[in-house]
Amino acid sequence: MIQIATVCGMGLGTSMMLANQVRAMCEDAGIAAKVQPVDLGSFKSQPSDIVVTTTAMAKNVEGTKAVVVLIDNLIDKNEVKTKVMAAVDEFNNR
């Protein structure tokens, strides 16, 4: 099972929205994934294979061993799906 963390500053708005989108995409694609919305303070202690966040948060997630997905437009479901599925492929090919 792939561990996916969606990260934002407070762990409420952006991360919840991303988590719902990512969870639905994984279910539709038949990917076993545990998707957790987390705040910036908790994310480093959260074991994750993939981290999904906004481009604005890029500096805050540097240095993680996880595959990092940076989203420019949260409302663009195609962008989210394309980038997350590419990250799943990258993780599976490691």
CATH number at residue 21: 3.40.50.2300
Count of C-beta atoms within a 10 Å radius of residue 78: 8
Written as tens digits, the pLDDT of the chain (94 aa) is 999 999 987 767 889 999 999 999 999 999 999 999 999 888 888 889 999 999 999 999 988 899 999 999 989 999 999 999 999 999 999 8
Q: What pLDDT score was predicted for residue 59? A: 92
Q: What pLDDT score was predicted for residue 11? A: 61
Q: What pLDDT score was predicted for residue 42? A: 84
Q: Which residues contact residue 3 at a Cβ distance below 8 angstroms, ignoring those fewer than 6 apart?
A: 33, 34, 36, 46, 47, 48, 49, 50
Q: Show the domain range for 82.
A: 2-92
Q: How many domains does one find in the chain?
A: 1
